Amino acid sequence: MTRIPCFDVLTPEQVERIDKETMRILTEVGCDFEYEPALEVFRKAGVRVEGSRVFLTEDFIRARIEEAPSEFTLKARNEAKSTPCHDGSFILTPSYGPPFVYTIDGECLTTTSEDYNNVIKLTHMSENINHTGHNVVEMQDYPDEIRHLKMIESHIKYSDLPFMGATHGELCAQDTVDMCKIIFGLDDDGIKKTPILNSLINSITPLKYDERMLGSMMVYAEYGQSNMISSLVMSGSTGPISMVETLALQMAEVIAGLCLTQIINPGSPVILGSTSGPADMATMALSIGNAEEALYAGATAQMGRFYGVPTRGGGGLNDSIAPDAQAGWESMLTLLNPAVTGTAFVLHAAGIMHYYNAFSYEKFIIDDEIAGLCNKYIAGYNFDEDRFLFDDVEEVGPGGHFLYQDSTLDFGMDHRRPLISNRGTIEAWVDAGKRTAAQVAKERWEKQLAEYERPEMDSAVEKELNDFITKRCNDLIGECPALYE
């Protein structure tokens, strides 16, 4: 079974025009890198640096883009769950960074380590979400100094899917690399040849990177780990109102970051990311559940094909406060879009609410259903010869039915069964209590968490990991709190 062809939102001429504008921004305006070690890397590479402003030449940019790989594989603790990353791979992760949980009853709760671990567990049990991401919600019950350690510990212990690295600065990135060396049994040379982490590096629009992001980026590049370099331009606020200039500005920011990674370690993996969307002119808030966001993400995927670099975009994005019809239609658009435009990696595929502000357990299950629909859609038709059932058609003939054909039972896998979508009668729905999709989703996530089983881990490896975390916590705050169970 082969994937459906990718849909382009730009013409070839429009791609070249965006590329031209991107190069002009980088060569004439430049980009600020507010981290002296990064500036020194650029200087040693012969790049013009004025203060914190870096000016790149077009020839230099294109040479660095050429060095970035077009595909790589993110290794999982369970080898069978490793994920190839390339144009159209459609790797799905849950929410990223929300500080609140919105309940089905309309409460707004502060996120905790219990919520964090729950999201990892639900992701581990999903048949559609195949990567646990990072910072799925904020662990606000742990001190900032050690939060990254407890986050990575949760990913390692509660799932054997691939995960992302911490990007809170050089120290946090190094801790993440060291933890990966323990659980994968690698030394420095080994990990440099083994992409495990794909870590989110955000620019500050317009045209700036700070010390925290750059410190993380440089560590991951040095160790051959993937940097997912993303830009969030709010067109009309932090970026120009014009969509084409917003797209060019976004591409300039992420390509500037790519250039730094390739100077440090040519061939280190990179993903170019779009999270851009319009500022709502009535409220000046970011809006992400709209066609503009989908167009930015789709165009980014196409620009990635032009440059030969994988891309990130989309998710179950929405501006809704409840897991309602608005959340559904906006999320369907913003998740189906990266599926059909060839996006490699998707953050926020499940559970995100209210323009990145909150997580919803019910929304996670609803998005899991949407992800299943998207996965089925992009898988397309199965054209194996045994799917052509002429003999059945000939046997049944005009006016018959196929319910009793052997093939109807044998080929049930051609049709996806829904997780929570209702296909029953109205009488059955009434008898079951007239439950909404959100209520059905609530029952499902509660049942899944009750049935969760932690994946196995070698006891010696777990002890070494625990000892490392304890030591680092003691170094940073003088104690090591337990992970919530």
Which CATH superfamily is 66-379 part of? Trimethylamine methyltransferase-like (3.20.20.480)
User: Order of strands across the sheet with 108-110?
Assistant: 108-110, 100-102, 358-359, 352-353
Q: Is the pLDDT of residue 413 over 60?
A: yes
Cα angle 270-275-278, degrees, rounded to a multiple of 5: 150
Pairing mode, strands 31-33 and 53-55:
antiparallel
Confidence (pLDDT) at 485: 59
Confidence (pLDDT) at 2: 67
**Reported confidence tier of residue 96, pLDDT bands at 50, 70, 90:** very high
Taking residues 299-327, what's their average pLDDT?
97
Taking residues 344-357, what's their average pLDDT?
97
Confidence (pLDDT) at 411: 67
CB 115 within 8 A of CB 137: yes
Pairing mode, strands 198-202 and 226-231:
parallel
As a whole number of angstroms, the distance between CA 179 and CA 471 comes to 12
Q: Where are the domains of the chain?
A: 66-379
CB 298 within 8 A of CB 341: yes
- Residue 206: asked if its preceding bond is cis (omega within 30°), the reply is yes
If you compute the radius of gyration of the chain from its CA atoms, what whole number of angstroms results? 23
Taking residues 278-300, what's their average pLDDT?
93
CB 74 within 8 A of CB 331: no
pLDDT digits (tens, 9 = 90+) for 250-260: 999 999 999 99
Q: Is the pLDDT of residue 292 over 80?
A: yes
- Cβ-count burial of 148 within 10 angstroms (0-12 exposed, 13-18 middle, 19+ buried)? buried
Kindly report the length of the chain.
485
| Identity of residue 31 | C
Taking residues 364-390, what's their average pLDDT?
95
pLDDT digits (tens, 9 = 90+) for 434-450: 999 999 999 999 999 99
Confidence (pLDDT) at 412: 67
Instruction: Write down the residue that tokens 């194996």 correspond to.
Output: 384
Q: Is the pLDDT of residue 414 over 90?
A: no
Indicate the pTM of the whole model. 0.96
**Reported confidence tier of residue 280, pLDDT bands at 50, 70, 90:** confident
Confidence (pLDDT) at 283: 85
Q: Please give the mean pLDDT across all residues of the chain.
A: 96
pLDDT digits (tens, 9 = 90+) for 8-63: 999 999 999 999 999 999 999 999 999 999 999 999 999 999 999 999 999 999 99
